[in-house]
Amino acid sequence: MTSKTTSAKEVARILIVDDHPVVRRGLAELVADEPDLEVCGEAADAPDALRMVDETNPDLIVVDISLKSGHGIDLIKRIKARNDTVKMLVSSMHDETLFAERALRAGAMGYINKEEASDRVIEAIRHVLRGQIYLSSRMTEGLLHGVVAGREAIDHSSLKRLSDRELEVFEMIGRGMTTRQIAETLRRSVKTVETYRENLKAKLGLKNSAELSRHAVQWALERT
């Protein structure tokens, strides 16, 4: 009886947050194959994820950047503010060089691309569960280079100058969302979103809204 209780305590509880049912199912199957891991819940958007965190008390959350509603980076910040003990790993198709450092600053402990082999995903989960940062070797080298050489040495992309919210708005523009739709999704006023758009044009050196939309759509298409 004692050995069973001990074994149960050693099983790490994993919450999966992704807006694609097929992805959630595949990841759940990977986790289920591991004797020391179990899926305690699944969510497709930020509100459900926050509710599931409270209900299931997971040891680790695997979260995507793009969600049905809400944004992964913002969700990580909100979860961290509510529960600073839960560990988080980002699994996404988005560009690691652009989002990994943002995810770490928000409170995640790792970033893995969805195209990685299944054994790498499990490796990343175990790595983060041990309290260690998990990144690709390329990303780790880039971050270390930034520490040694100074941030300006690697912040060559103009997108890296954007705040997390500005990048989120840029992504939504790229998906074809109108200013009003973005405002409703973010629960902000239209005027606030228009301010974000103006900031984006200024930081990216774009002359007008047409250029902003064109660049945003091109960026989004390159990542689909």
**Per residue in 71-102, pLDDT tens?**
899 999 999 998 888 999 999 888 777 788 88
| Whether the Cβ atoms of residue 100 and residue 139 lie closer than 8 Å to each other | yes
Q: Give the confidence band of 34 by pLDDT, cuts at 50, 70, 90.
A: very high
pLDDT surpasses 70 at 175: yes
The CATH classification number of 158-222 equals: 1.10.10.10
Span of 5-9, 42-46, 127-131, 136-140 with lowest mean pLDDT: 5-9
Long-range contacts: 80-83, Cβ < 8 Å, 24+? Answer: 80/106, 80/107, 82/50, 82/53, 82/54, 83/53
Fold of 2-145: Rossmann fold (3.40.50)
Residue 213: pLDDT above 90? no
Which tokens hold the place of 6?
Answer: 């001990």
What pLDDT score does 97 carry?
A: 75
Whether the predicted pLDDT of 110 surpasses 80: yes
Residue 197 vs residue 114, higher pLDDT:
197
Neighbour count for residue 186 (Cβ, 10 Å): 19
pLDDT band at 140; cut points 50, 70, 90: low
Q: Cα–Cα distance between 36 and 184 in angstroms, integer?
A: 41
pLDDT, averaged across the chain: 83
* Same CATH fold assignment for domains 2-145 and 158-222: no
Of 15-29, 95-109, 176-190, give the lowest mean pLDDT range. Answer: 95-109
pLDDT recorded at residue 214: 79
Q: Which is more confident, 122 or 221?
A: 122
Domains of the chain: which residue ranges?
A: 2-145, 158-222
Q: For residue 64, give both structure tokens.
A: 């995507």
Q: Enter the tokens of residue 120.
A: 């790498």
pLDDT number for residue 7: 45
Q: How confident is the model at residue 25 (pLDDT cuts 50, 70, 90)?
A: very high
Above 70 in pLDDT, residue 2?
no
How would you label 147-159 residue by residue, b for 16+ Cβ within 10 Å and e otherwise? eeeeeeebeeeeb
Chain Cα centroid distance, residue 73 = 5
Q: State which H helix or E strand residue 120 sits in.
A: helix 118-129
Query: Tokens for 58?
Result: 């997971």
pLDDT for residue 151 is more than 60: no
Q: What is the pLDDT of residue 4?
A: 42
Name which residue leads in pLDDT, 215 or 97: 215
Percent of the chain with pLDDT over 90: 42
The per-residue pLDDT for 52 is 95
Q: Tokens 């809400």 identify what position?
A: 70
Q: Quick check: pTM over 0.75?
A: no
